[in-house]
Every structure is written in structure tokens, then in C-alpha cells.
Structure 1
């Protein structure tokens, strides 16, 4: 499950999540993203001022039962810290057991209460949990009681309710249950492209005492500062923005060519599957290639074709 790969060992010391969140500086975070926020991408964004990274959402039930699932879903290495492992769970036993398994290899677990996909909600996962406060709090309590290390965080990532009073009430209940920090995506489960509700995030921040992370519409350092100024949150979490520009937290407006070079080195060294390797580059080159170049690049079907394209167009090898 935990890789011995340490070719990117970076600094072997790191700050724990709560140390970061209580340190007075805005914490810059890579969001949990299905397929995309795996080890190679986490190692890439850590080179560009990303302070904390999440794994993709992992189904806790399958993870607990199958060594094969654990090996497929979770890998890490020496420099991959601080790291939060996100789980989908519908009961306290599954979440707390999964937390015990990843405890030696990570700095915390996060309960997904934000995924709006129908399959997840039908299975009792994701954003349906924001309507089940007793269950959510029980999962937090039991997981917290299983691991005595106070530096190992138990957090929740959630969406907001249409009625913000329900959201504030849920956040306060989660805080009393012992959640270490909260990450809030400022949209309801039914909203997709609507603007993030900044007022909702500010309201939550004013009504809880634990650290709060804002998620949604973070696409540049300017967005980071604006969100912090408007809400007072302790950190920000980017998804689409950091996919398109993994160097955004270091102040780059578009993906720099040296970032693409780093992606080639990291992903090839870790044996990244071709579709993921390609899709990441499609995102990274989105604002670099013209339309005709994108059309060509997006249809490339082999590693050698991609490497040849980058060599010819940008002298990247």
C-alpha cells in the first residue's frame, strides 16, 4: 500500500495539518479529486508552494476488506507529506477502521460529505451526509476515539445547505463532536457552475472556533487572497484551478514549461497510467496551446507521441 519510492524525498520533516492551520499563514491545499490527486500529481504541486494535499476519495468499505483495493487506491512516498486521506463512508466502523490502516502513512483522514454524484448519494456517501448530522458526528467521534494521536486530524469536507442555518448548525455539531477542521465547498449539492457563496463561508467562519478551509473558484493567488480577505478562513483548497495550473500557488498565471518538465519526470518515474498522464497534460496545456494544437494533442494515443510533440513544440524532453 505505501510505496517505498523516495526519489522525490524532499524535506523529511513537515508541519502537521493543525500546525499549518493555526500558524497564522494562509494554508494552500490541493483538493481531493477523483483519479487526479494521486501520488504523482501531489508530488508535482508540492514543488510549487502547495502546503497540504488530499488523496482522491476512497471507498472505505472496499479499502478495509481488500488488500488489492488498498494497493490500487492508496500509495505514498517519503516526501508526500503532510497528507490527508479522504474516505467515503456511511458508518463509523468503516471510517474508523480505514483511519487506523492509513494512520502510519498519513497525517489525517477526511470524511467526504460533499460529493454530489447520484451514485454516491444512493450508496449513502457524499453530500447526503449533510442531512444526517447524528450519523456524521458519530463517525467523527468514533474515529477520533480510535486514534489517540491529537496531531492526526479527523476532518470533514462538505457542501452547504440551501438553508444556511442548517449548515451553521451542522458545523457547530461537528465541532462539538471533535472534528479537527472543516473544508466547505460554497455550493449546494445541486449547484454546478453557480458562483461560490462567499457569504455562507464567512458566516460559518464567524460561528465556529476550529479552522475553516474554503473550497471553490480558487484559480489564482489573487483568488486566494480575495477569499481570505472576504471570509477570514485559515486556508483555501483548489481543484480545477490547480489541475489547469499546478504552479498556481507559486504565483504563476499559466502552467510554466518547467512544471510540465517536472510532470514528465515524476509521472514517468512513478509509472503513471497513460490516460491519467495524458489527461493531466491536457489540463496543463489548456491555456498554452491554440485550438488546432489542442485538437492534435488531445488525440495523441501513446507516450512516445506525446513526448515527441512536447520536444518538437517546446523543446521539453
Structure 2
């Protein structure tokens, strides 16, 4: 496992994939849009990313990392980002509000990832006050400057994405104009979360707004990825067909069910076994995060409140593994049907 410390060590990742090529060609090669697991604060770390790849996810994002902290703090780099040669294609997402920090961040991470995504969609107030996340779509000139600086330096050797929300409904042309400016300075693709800065996730995503941007960028060779309200494979197909997007991203959906793009409407038990195995194999994931991942999967499986309560009452990784073994037939990689079963194999009481 390779912590992202300084540029000189460790050596660059051996296996690299071009996410832009995947997004542009998945419809022709697989008969579907590119499938993407989006960035989630804390949760889209290495073990979870690998589970997603086991279930037809083409591209996976890291959690958002703050450029200023990452660049200045070695402990932040070690804590926030780990990878390995199988972790590809991976896009590292960054929260940043100036070109200098972005260029320093990119220089440090470029050898270890397949692309960098600038977060222009996070609506959290603390980030907005720092000029990060969704604040960037209201600072178009700076955003365009940052994209241009990275692409001028790296060209096609590094893929660069922007993940945006949409401006107010009274100004859809503002969002489109910004996207065109990003295309003109070399952005490789644009992910559009079809909600306003103030729209709650409980409100439906605005697919018309995403379609408006897709149609408006038809003269550019820059694909659009649609984000929002993708919880099943049929959602993915519907969103892509309506918007014309080349890819569909899910975040909340894959958190509960990493296998949704593979056609499972409910999280299969195999996800739990694979996730536990990757946590042990890769190490480094805090227990509370691992516990929360399994909690989300259990909720998708609609397991009983007693099972969920028992899981959440464990206080360490060994205790959680013992509890899982006591209540379920939790198999290891060298055992038959490891990672393949669908129904939760509960022990009879």
C-alpha cells in the first residue's frame, strides 16, 4: 500500500487507465454509460473503492481532500490517501480555492492517480466560507484559471475534471457559459450534480438541467457525467437515456449498495465479505468507518433492528469480526462461494 507522501517516494503506480477514454467509449464497448462511484467525505477510501470495482464500477473517486492541508501536512497525506497498483482508475478529488495550492497538490498526487477532480459542488457552509466547493461556481474566472493552469502544465498526461452544481433556475445560461469556458481551457469532462447549492438531497435531481448542459456542449468533445438520485441500475439507464450523459455517477446509492451498477437492487452479502477482506488486506481504515460501511449495507439488505443494533454495539474491528462470525456465515477468500452469495447467511438461533 502506497501512502501519498513526497513525490520522490514511493515510485509511481505501475498500472494506469485513461478515465476519459472509458467515459467516451463505454456505450460502444459495453452498451451502457460509464459507471462511476462518486466522492464521499471519509467513505470512498481504498477498501470501499475496490469493492465497487468488483461490481461493474468503471471509475472510482477518493473522498475530497483539502489542497492546503494536503500540501502542508504530511500526516494529512498519510491519513487521507492510500492506494495500490490495483486501485485504478482512480480520481482524487480536491477542495481548493487558489491556483498555487492546486498546482502543488497536483504535483504531489499525479504519479498515483488517473485523474484529479476539482470539487465545485459541496454545499457545506464551512467550505463555502473558505471559497471551496460550491462557491467555485460563483467564481467562474478563478475556476477557469485553475483548470487552464493545470492543463497548460500537464496536457493529456493528467486528466482533470470539475464536479459542479447548477446555478439558480433563473440563470441556466450562466452554468452553460461556465461549462463552455471550462471546455475551452481543456477540462477533460464535467460532472453535473443536478441540484442548486441550496437544494436538499431529499428533493429530486433536476435532469432537465443536466440535459440542458449536455445539449449545450454538443460542439465540444467534452463528455458530461450525470450525478444525482442513482440508486439502481434502472436509474442509471433512465438518467443516461434522458440526459444524454456519457456517464452516470452514484454516491449515496453505492454507499448502501456497492453492487447497484451490476444490477443488484439490494446489497448482496458478497459485498460485506469482500469489504471485510479488503479492510484486513489493505489496513488503515478506521474502525468507525468500516462499521458505518457495513451498517449502510445492512440497511440496504433490510436486516432486523436487532442485527443492526448488535453491529453498532461492537467497539473494535476484532469485536466486529467476532460478532459477524457469531451471527452470520462470514466466509474468507479461501472458502467456497466467498464474495458470491446474495442473501445474508444468518446462523439459526
TM-score of the pair, normalised by structure 2: 0.85
User: How far off is 1:24 after superposition?
Assistant: 4.2
User: How far off is 1:22 after superposition?
Assistant: 1.4
| 2:231 is aligned with 1:219 | yes
* Structure 2 counterpart of 1:23, from 25, 34, 39: 25
TM-score of the pair, normalised by structure 1: 0.93
| 2:313 is aligned with 1:307 | no
User: How far off is 1:61 after superposition?
Assistant: 1.1
Corresponding residue of 1:250: 262
Question: Once the two structures are superposed, what CA deviation does each residue of 1:139-182 show, in whole Å capped at 9, x if it has no partner?
Answer: 0000111214x142111001111121211111111111211100
**RMSD over aligned Cα, in angstroms?**
1.6
Contact 1:100-1:146 within 8 A present in 2 as well? no
* Structure 2 counterpart of 1:287, from 300, 303, 306: 300
* Structure 1 counterpart of 2:62, from 55, 62, 65: 55
| 2:52 is aligned with 1:45 | yes
Contact 2:291-2:311 within 8 A present in 1 as well? no
* Runs of 4+, deviation exceeding 4 Å: none
Corresponding residue of 1:135: 142
SS of equivalent to 2:300: coil
SS of equivalent to 1:311: helix
User: How far off is 1:221 after superposition?
Assistant: 0.5
Matched residues in 1 for 2:54 and 2:306: separation? 31
* Structure 2 counterpart of 1:199, from 208, 214, 225: 208
| 2:138 is aligned with 1:125 | no
Residue ranges of structure 2 left out of the alignment (5+ in a row): 5-13, 28-32, 332-349
User: How far off is 1:15 after superposition?
Assistant: 3.6
| 2:184 is aligned with 1:176 | yes
User: How far off is 1:69 after superposition?
Assistant: 1.9
Residues 91 and 3 of structure 1: CA distance in aligned 2, closer, same or farther (over 3 Å): closer
Contact 1:49-1:250 within 8 A present in 2 as well? yes
User: How far off is 1:307 after superposition?
Assistant: 1.9
Residues 304 and 69 of structure 1: CA distance in aligned 2, closer, same or farther (over 3 Å): closer
Q: Give the number of the structure whose alpha-carbon radius of gyration is greater.
A: 2
TM alignment of 1:97-176, pairs within 5 A: 97-148=104-155, 150-162=156-168, 163-176=171-184
Corresponding residue of 1:8: none
- Between stretches 166-175 and 116-125, larger displacement belongs to 166-175
Matched residues in 1 for 2:279 and 2:59: separation? 19
Corresponding residue of 2:245: 233
Corresponding residue of 1:2: 2
User: How far off is 1:228 after superposition?
Assistant: 0.6
SS of equivalent to 1:155: strand
Contact 1:199-1:231 within 8 A present in 2 as well? yes
SS of equivalent to 1:285: helix
Matched residues in 2 for 1:311 and 1:207: separation? 54
Residue ranges of structure 1 left out of the alignment (5+ in a row): 5-11
- Between stretches 26-35 and 288-297, larger displacement belongs to 288-297
User: How far off is 1:303 after superposition?
Assistant: 2.3
Give the paired residue count. 309
